[in-house]
Chains A and B, each alone.
Chain A
Amino acid sequence: MGYTQGLVCRECGAKYDLAPLHVCEACFGPLEVTYDYAAIRASISREEIERGPKSVWRYRKLLPVEDEPVVDLQTGFTPLLKAENLGRLLGLRNLYIKNDTVNPSFSFKDRPVTVAATRARAFGFDTIACASTGNLAAAVAAHAAKAAMKCVVFIPADLEPSKIVNIAVYGPTLVGIRGSYDDVNRLCAEIADRYGWAFVNINLRPYYAEGSKTLAYEVAEQLGWRAPDSVIVPTASGALFTRIARGFQELSDLGLISTAHTHMGLAQAAGCSPIVAAHEASSLTVRPVKPSTIAKSLAIGNPADGYYCLKTIRETNGFAGSVSDEEIVAGMKLLARTEGVFAETAGGVAIGVLKKAAESGQLDPDETVVVYVTGNGLKTPEAVADTSRISVTIGSTMDAFEAALRTQSALEPVHA
C-alpha cells in the first residue's frame, strides 16, 4: 500500500480522487497529491531509508505510487561532491555540487519520469508522451522503452543535435514543432485533451512533479541528514525549484531532519528570466517573455509555477539571479576545470549565479551551499565547441614528443 490519499487543488482546496487529472475544474488551479503523513511518520526512519535501493525508490513512501511495480532505470542517488577547488576560488568553504548529470538519460528528468511512467502504467495507459525542451523527452523515451510502452514526444524543432540523438535513440515518435517550447506546450495541452495519452507534464503532472522532491531528500541524506543553508536551482517552469523546497520541508515535518531553513536560490538565463524579473520588481506576477538564450532546457517564457517560485523565495528568505550566455559558457568551463563535472548549459546558469551570489555576499563563507547541476554536458557540446582543440599533434616517436616539449607553449594545457 502507498500513502497517497488523493488530489487537492492548491488554490481552492477542492478534492479529487487519484486520477490522471492536473487542473481543478472549479478554478484551473494546479492539483497536487496529498499523503497520509501521520502514517508515513509512524513507519519511516533514516535507517529504513538507508537500507533501501540506491535510487529514488529508497524514498518510495514519499512518492505518489501504490504497490504497483515501478518503471525503474535506477534513477537517482547521484553523487554529492564537495567542491573544494571551486569553493576555494569563490571563498566558500562548504560548497557542494549535486551531480545529476549521471542519471540514466543524463538529466534530472529521470526522477519525475520514473514516477510518472509508473503511474501511467498503473492507470492503464498504453502511450506515454510529453512536451519537452529536450531533457524530458529523453527521459520519457528511455522509460517508455523500459516499460515497453508506446511513446510520442514533442520538442521545438531547433533543438541541439545532441539532444535529438539523446531522444531518438530510444525509438519514440519524435515530433518537432516550428516554434518555441511555449508553443509546443500549448499544442500539447490541446492534444492531451483530445488523445488518451499519458502526457507526463500535463495530465500526469501531479505525480510527475513529485519525483523532483528526491533531489532534496538525497542532498539531506548525503549531508548526514541535514538541510543545506542555501541551494541554487536552475529554473524554467519552476516545478523543480518548488519541489526541492517542499522536499526539505517534508523531511523536517517528518522529523527526519531538524528544522528546514534552506534559502532557496533560483537561477535563470538572462535571455529567459521572467521569474527573476518579477522577483526583482517585488511582484508575484510573472510576465511571460519570448526566450532567447543558449540554455534551451531553461527556455520557458511562461513558467507555470512562477508564482509559487516567487512565494518560495519570499518564504525561505531566498534569492534569484540571472546570467548572460557568455557567463553560462564560462560557468560550464569553470565547473569542468575545477571539479571535473561536465554540465549542460543549465549547469552553466547555476554556476554563473553561484559566482554572482558568492561575490555579492549573498552567501556566507562558512555556510553549506548546494548547487544543483541537472544535465550532462554532452547534451549541449556546441556551447563549448571552442574548447575542441588539441594542444599539439606529433608523430609517434619519443623524439617528436621531446621536440614538442622544448617548444615554448606547445604543451601548455589547452585552456590555461
Chain B
Amino acid sequence: MGEGAGEGELPMSIKVRVPTPLRQVTGGLADVEAAAPSVAECLQELESRFPGFQERVLDETGEVRRFVNLFVNGEDIRFLDGLDTPLKSGDELSIVPAMAGGA
C-alpha cells in the first residue's frame, strides 16, 4: 500500500514514510512515493498531491518545525544539507516527531 496511481512513470522514486499525525492529509497512507531532486522539492510535490502536507512540516518561515525531524536514509538532514539535501532514486525520507528519553 502507499503507491499512488501513475507513479511508475516517474523518472525517480523516493519513498516517504508518513507518521501517524500526517496520515489524515495522506488519506491514511503510511508510505507514499515521490519524485524530486531535493527534500524541499519533495515536500512541495507532496503538498501539491496532499494539500496541507507542507504546512504541517514547515513553519511560516519555511523552516522545518521545531518538533519535526527529517531523515534521509536514516540521517538527520541537519547533518546533511538541510532542506537542500539532494535526493536520488531509492532514497527514503522519514518524517518523525521529536522524541523523549535518556538519562
Residues of chain B from 56 to 81 with CB closer than 8 A to chain A in the complex? 56-57, 65-69, 71, 74, 76, 78-79
B67 contacts which of A29, A181, A194 (Cβ < 8 Å)? A29
**Bound CA–CA A201/B98 (angstroms):** 11
- Check: B19 CB closer than 8 A to any chain A CB: yes
Verify B103–A28 contact, CB threshold 8 A: no
**Bound CA–CA A290/B102 (angstroms):** 15
Verify A136–B101 contact, CB threshold 8 A: yes
- Check: A348 CB closer than 8 A to any chain B CB: no
Count A-side interface residues using an 8 Å CB cutoff.
56
B-contacting 9-mer, from A37-45, A69-77, A184-192, A253-261: A184-192
**Bound CA–CA A133/B103 (angstroms):** 7
**Bound CA–CA A130/B56 (angstroms):** 26
- Check: A152 CB closer than 8 A to any chain B CB: no
Verify B99–A202 contact, CB threshold 8 A: yes
Q: Which residues of A sit under 8 angstroms from B56, Cβ to Cβ?
A: 26-28
Q: Which residues of B sit under 8 angstroms from A130, Cβ to Cβ?
A: 101
Verify B99–A237 contact, CB threshold 8 A: yes
A186 contacts which of B20, B68, B74, B79 (Cβ < 8 Å)? B74
Q: Which residues of B sit under 8 angstroms from A299, Cβ to Cβ?
A: 102
Residue interface bits B77-97, CB-to-A below 8 A is 1, else 0:
011000000000000001011
**Bound CA–CA A297/B101 (angstroms):** 9
Q: Which residues of A sit under 8 angstroms from B78, Cβ to Cβ?
A: 287-288
Residues of chain A from 1 to 51 with CB closer than 8 A to chain B in the complex? 11, 22-30
| Least distance between B56 CB and chain A CB atoms (Å) | 7
**Bound CA–CA A186/B19 (angstroms):** 11
Verify A27–B103 contact, CB threshold 8 A: no
Verify B102–A193 contact, CB threshold 8 A: no
Verify A240–B21 contact, CB threshold 8 A: no
Verify A133–B20 contact, CB threshold 8 A: no
Residues of chain A from 235 to 249 with CB closer than 8 A to chain B in the complex? 235-237, 239-240
Of all chain A residues, which has the CB nearest B59? Answer: A27
A24-B21, A27-B56 given; A304·B96 CB < 8 A: no
Of all chain B residues, which has the CB nearest A284? Answer: B66
- Check: B24 CB closer than 8 A to any chain A CB: yes
Verify A346–B103 contact, CB threshold 8 A: yes
Verify B76–A235 contact, CB threshold 8 A: no
A189-B19, A193-B30, A307-B66 given; A201·B99 CB < 8 A: yes
- Check: A164 CB closer than 8 A to any chain B CB: no
Verify A190–B94 contact, CB threshold 8 A: yes
| Least distance between A314 CB and chain B CB atoms (Å) | 16
| Least distance between A286 CB and chain B CB atoms (Å) | 9
Verify B100–A305 contact, CB threshold 8 A: yes
Of all chain B residues, which has the CB nearest A287? Answer: B78
Q: Which residues of B sit under 8 angstroms from A319, Cβ to Cβ?
A: none
Known: A186-B96, A302-B98; 20 extra A-B contacts, CB below 8 A, are A23-B21, A24-B21, A30-B67, A108-B103, A181-B101, A186-B94, A189-B19, A189-B99, A190-B17, A193-B19, A201-B101, A205-B100, A208-B100, A209-B100, A234-B103, A288-B78, A297-B103, A302-B69, A304-B99, A304-B100
Instruction: List 10 A-B pairs, minimum CB-CB distance, nearest first.
Output: A236-B102, A304-B98, A23-B97, A300-B102, A236-B103, A25-B21, A28-B67, A201-B101, A239-B100, A189-B96
